[in-house]
Structure formats: C-alpha cells, structure tokens
Amino acid sequence: MKLPHLAGTLLIGLASVGLFANCSSDAKKANGQSKAAGDTTATGTAEAPPDTTRKPIDTALFKAQLKKLANGDTTGKWPVKNQPIPLPGSILPFKRIVVYYGNLHSKKMGALGEYAPKEMWSRLNAEVKHWEKADPGTPVQVGLHYIAAVASGTPGKDGKYINRMGNKQIDSVLAIAKMKPGTIVFLDLQVALSTIKNELPHIEKYLQLPNVHLGIDPEFSMKDGSLPGKKIGTYDAADINYVSQYLTDMVKKYNLPPKVFVVHRFTKKMVTNYQSIKLHPEAQIVMHMDGWGEPELKQGTYRYFIQNEPVQFTGFKLFYKNDLKKAPNRLMTPEELLKLRPVPIYIQYQ
C-alpha cells in the first residue's frame, strides 16, 4: 500500500478544524439553551458509590490480551514493554470501548448531539453488534464521549476562547448514559488559551464518579497564544503526565477503578516527547488516531503517529461524514480495523 504523504496526513487533521467554526458557534448556545438535539432533562448527578468488591486482575489473561492486540507485530514496539498491571476494575485491555462522540448543542460535532437519544442509542447499538460479531472474543464496553469544554471562536469573559459546558449539560449526558445500564462517559476538554491544569477542576466532581473517564484534545491546546482553529495545538509528555498523576491521585483518594485517559492525535507535533510519558496502574492511556480521510490515509496516520510512537493502548476514530468525502467514499469496517497492528481497543464514532 502506498504511504500517504505527511502533508496529506496533516490535512486530515486541519480539515477537522473546518468543523471548528461551525461547532464552536453552536456550542456557544449551551450557556443559554437547554432544548438542543439529543438533550434531556436531568435534575442532578447520580452519586453512585464506588465498587469495593472488584476482582483481582488475572495477570495471565492481561498479558494474553496485550499479545492479542499486538496482532503479530514484529517491530518490537507492541505490546508496550514494562507497562503496569492495572488495578482491579480496569476496562482495558479486557473490553473494547465503543463510543459516540459529540456535544448536545451541536448537530455538527458528532453523532452524540446530532440525534435524539433514542435514535442515537439505536445507531450506537448497531455499531456495538457489528464489533461483537467481528471480534466475539473481546466484549464491548459502550460509552458516550462528550465534549465538556469546547474551543470557541470568541474570547469569552476570561479571554481564553473556551466554552465550558454547565453542570446541567453534563448531567444530561449522564442521564442519556443511564438509558443503557453499564454505559461509561468520557468528558473531553479543548482548553484553547487556557491550560489543562486550570480546566480539570471544572469537571473534578464528575471524575469522582466510577463511570466517568477523561479525554484531552491537543488540537485545541494553543500554548503559543494562537487562536484555536487557526493552527493545530500541542501537548507535551509533561502535560500528559500531569493529567495521569491527577487521575491517579483521584483513583486512590476515592477508591475508584482505573480511569481511561484518551489523548487525541493525528500529527507528530500534537504530542511531543512521547517516550517520557509515564504509566500508572490507576490511569490507562489511549493514544487515539483522530484524523479523517480515506482508508489509506487514515491507516498511514495510524502507522506514523500511533503505531510508531507506542505509549500504552490505541484508539481509532471513524467520521460518518468526513471519511466519505473521497474515494472509496466509505467508512473503514471493524473487520479492517482488526487487521491493524496494534489493534485499536478504543473506537470512536463522530
């Protein structure tokens, strides 16, 4: 297969910024509107007690699952060496996480928000069934991945170009998740001109819940002061380590199962010094291929920036609209993704 040019790989990410102008203006409505696509009413956060009866990890099964995900890799990079045995209650690598991504106040940011809850669940359940059929040996953990802080086209009161979703919006996502028992929720942060350190406290009370996990998006981490959407942002290993330690401390303090920690990526500069990223039993890191385009281009992006720079686990995003823009005008299938090395254990549909 012909390797995609790096410039082309960059373009799949830059093209995703094309959504930015649309989604940020829609998300702006979140502060004053509650009746948007996919919204529900919710009166508060369900404070589910942590499970204190979690079974010990089967280390033999853990290692076997890692080998399975490596999928015959011969580079010596996979499975990642010396990674910690996770704490009891860990999702990865025992289950494959399959999520819908988006924001309740925009039909343009993803399937979560584009469709009313019942239709959204019907569509997501169909994807889950496809994955279960394609890989019956790996159970599916279903989830909703919600953009809880959206990079904005306007500065806002604090001049940080960020729209933080209010608690009512996040509570609505938790209510939608309850429609399918056992669903997990990811809260995703686009920090814009703010910092990840400053934004985590805004969602800390939700991260204290055992079914809530975290995603961060380097694309909209504008460390040089550029406006979000004008160029692609970045996180360093130091930032990722800060977040991992933050999650680790929270897991210990509240006796939680390990947190899944998703980092979006589709260019080299989005994540720097990957070799220095530290792993913890309390936080499971997923490096998530977040670019769109035709199958050949997406596979090249995955190979360059996910396979070649191993951290721990891997993810892969499928775009219902943008992946269809160029020939062969179709989404990659679970069967195709299962042939990747390593096999992604986190799948996101937008």
Cβ neighbours of residue 49 under 8 Å, at least 6 residues apart?
none
pLDDT given for residue 277 in this prediction: 98
Give me the pLDDT at residue 53, please: 66
For the stretch 138-193, pLDDT in tens is 999 999 999 999 999 999 999 999 999 999 999 999 999 999 999 999 999 999 99
- Closest to 302 measured CA to CA, from 1, 96, 101, 17: 1
In angstroms, what CA-CA distances link 127 with 165, 209, 266, 333?
Answer: 27, 26, 23, 10
Question: Which structure tokens are listed for 20?
Answer: 């930015």
pLDDT at position 324, please? 96
pLDDT higher than threshold 90 for residue 122? yes
* Secondary structure letter of residue 147 according to DSSP: E
Mean pLDDT rounded to a whole number for the chain: 88
Q: Cβ contacts of residue 174 below 8 Å, gap of 6+? A: 42, 45, 46, 185, 206, 212
User: What integer pLDDT is reported at residue 262 of this predicted model?
Assistant: 98
pLDDT at 54: 85
Grade residue 51 by pLDDT with cuts at 50, 70 and 90. very low
Confidence of residue 199 (pLDDT cuts 50, 70, 90): very high
Say if residue 206's pLDDT is above 70.
yes
pLDDT band at residue 261, thresholds of 50, 70 and 90?
very high
Quote the pLDDT of residue 29.
35
Region 253-268 average pLDDT: 97
User: Looking at the predicted structure, is the pLDDT value of residue 288 above 70?
Assistant: yes
Give the list of residues 6+ apart from residue 149 with CB closer than 8 angstroms, or none: 162, 163, 164, 165, 188, 189, 190, 191, 199, 202, 203
pLDDT tens profile 6-46: 333 333 333 333 333 333 333 333 333 333 333 333 333 34
Q: What are the tens digits of pLDDT across the range 300-336?
A: 999 999 999 999 999 999 999 999 999 999 999 999 9
Q: Which amino acid is at 282?
A: E
Judge contact between 71 and 343, C-beta under 8 A: yes
